[in-house]
Amino acid sequence: MDCLHSTLDRSDTIALNASMVGLSLSEVSDAQATGVGQLQGCCTADPSGFRRGRGGDEDQIETEALQATAKRDTCGFAEKESRETGLVADCGKWKNDVMDERLWGNLPNHLLDNIMAWLPFWSLLRFKSVCRRWNRIADCRMFLDAYRRVPCQDVLFMMFADHLKHKVVAAYNPALDKWHPIPLSHLLPSEPPNYFFILAAAGGLLCVEDMGWPCRSLIVSNLVTRSYRKLPPMIDMKSPYVVGMVAEAGRDAYKILVAQDGETLTSQYYDSKSNTWKMSGSFNRRVALVAGTVFLQGFFYCLTFGPVGLVAYDVNDGSWHDTQITLPPSVTCPHVIEHKGQLMMVAGLEEFSILKSVGIWQLDLSNKTLVEIQRMPDHLFQKLFIGSRGNFFCVGHNGLICFNDNHSPHILMFDIVKQRWWWLPPSPLNHTLKRQSVLRVQFLGFSIEPRLDAVV
């Protein structure tokens, strides 16, 4: 099989898998020795590094690992759903199921590629740890072609704590309802810069700014494959900053939008295909800041401040447009998100400069109107913003909205589809900073889709 060169060696893969699925390295070693912890003593390590079954047949270990992982993932999903719905999930039916190893142990490679491509990301990481053959398959061109055709099923909400000094990063996984510590070696080159900012995310990639003096530079990285690219210098601008990032459908190219505000809004963009920066259109209106960017149907939608408004940047022709949508004067901390092809806004509402509530609006671009669809329940609002100054941050992805206030230890999540609110488990960042005797400073960064096929 024609394979791509892997950016991870065997030990790096094991460490990454352990970090992502929340296992210690000793647990991963045990899992490898027993077929992901479910194959009760049926395999041992041979000198070549391939694990063998009872009769020296590698197909048997792969079949049993496939069955064990399917059982655990399905039961785990059913148990999670039962907690949410109040129904009891019965996974006992799996106990006596037997998969015929003569069939499942000899699947053609193209079928195995397609099966693995549709696995949730976290199950795929477990599969990669079963044996060397499966680890290699995940790096092969035929698998990546199949994987690239599958829509993203997973998301991570990344949070940073005092990252200029202590570089502490963690990510919340809604599918598993748990936090993962993220080593900086998975975000940045092997020797991370002393000062950096993560500026944007798209299609499984992160855009990071190296703040090192005297040469500031941008780096694009894939935290799963640990690959990265240092971008060429921008076209000279007075005070440029990254507005947004978008990945193309095939995840083999991306663009980064940079703007300079002031009396006139000017911009340039980076195209990974040509590895160059190009100047684009300008907007003849005074703008103090452009932030909160969402990409939707060929446009970057951006919030502007000074004055507050919503503008759109056409990626195809590089032009700026005013959406002519008027935001309520009492709005504070607005954020724009996308949900099922609809543009939405999350914002607070103030009375006499005091935050009183948080709402979610749907923006109708055709009629230039906002329609409120949800208001944060008062008891949740009081808990989240107790002792707060009224400034909050939120990030949305695939119908999930995560709320955080820098002065609160609580983090709140809302599911638009299920109309469900819940509190996240305690963030590991608080413990890390307390151990380092640092005042707690944490805030949400970005949502990111973990992808093996995102090309830097």
What is the rounded CA–CA span in Å between residue 302 and residue 226? 30
The mean-pLDDT minimum among 77-86, 148-157, 204-213 falls in: 77-86
- 58-72, 164-178, 375-389: least confidently modelled range: 58-72
Report residue 68's pLDDT band, with 50, 70 and 90 as the boundaries. Answer: low
Is beta strand 205-210 parallel, antiparallel or unpaired with respect to 217-222? antiparallel
Which pLDDT does position 183 carry in this prediction? 76
pLDDT at 112: 82
Strand order in the sheet with 411-415: 393-397, 400-404, 411-415, 420-423
113 pLDDT higher than 80: yes
- CA dist 337 and 425 (Å) reads 24
Q: Comparing 90 with 382, which gets the higher pLDDT?
A: 382
CA–CA dist 282, 267 (Å, integer): 6
| Element of type H or E holding 166 | none
pLDDT score for 160: 77
Q: What is the pLDDT of residue 404?
A: 87
Interatomic CA distance for residues 261 and 282, integer angstroms: 10
pLDDT exceeds cutoff 80 at 164: no
Q: Average pLDDT of the chain?
A: 76
> How sure is the predictor about 213, in pLDDT bands with cuts at 50, 70 and 90?
low
| Helical ranges in 86-140 per DSSP H | 101-104, 109-117, 121-128, 132-137
How high is the pLDDT of residue 233?
92
Calpha distance 421→74 (Å, rounded) = 24
pLDDT at 254 over 90: yes
Q: What pLDDT, on a 0 to 100 scale, did the predictor assign at position 101?
A: 77
Q: Which residue type occupies 340?
A: K
Q: Is the pLDDT of residue 320 over 50?
A: yes
> 30-57, pLDDT tens digit by residue?
334 333 333 232 333 333 332 333 344 5
Band of pLDDT at residue 64, cut at 50, 70 and 90: low
Say which residue, 289 or 455, is predicted with more confidence.
455
**pLDDT (0 to 100) of residue 1:** 38
User: Over pLDDT 90: what percentage of the chain?
Assistant: 28
For the chain, the distance separating the N- and C-terminal CA atoms, rounded to the nearest angstrom, is 24
Which of 194, 302, 188 has its CA nearest to residue 245? 302
Check residues 34 and 100 and name the one with the higher pLDDT: 100
Q: Return the sign of the alpha-carbon dihedral for residues 26, 32, 38, 44.
A: negative
pLDDT attached to residue 194: 62
Look-up of token digits 């199950």: 123
Q: pTM here?
A: 0.76
- Say if residue 206's pLDDT is above 70: yes
Average pLDDT over residues 435-442: 51
* 288: Cβ contacts below 8 Å, ≥ 6 apart: 261, 304, 305, 306
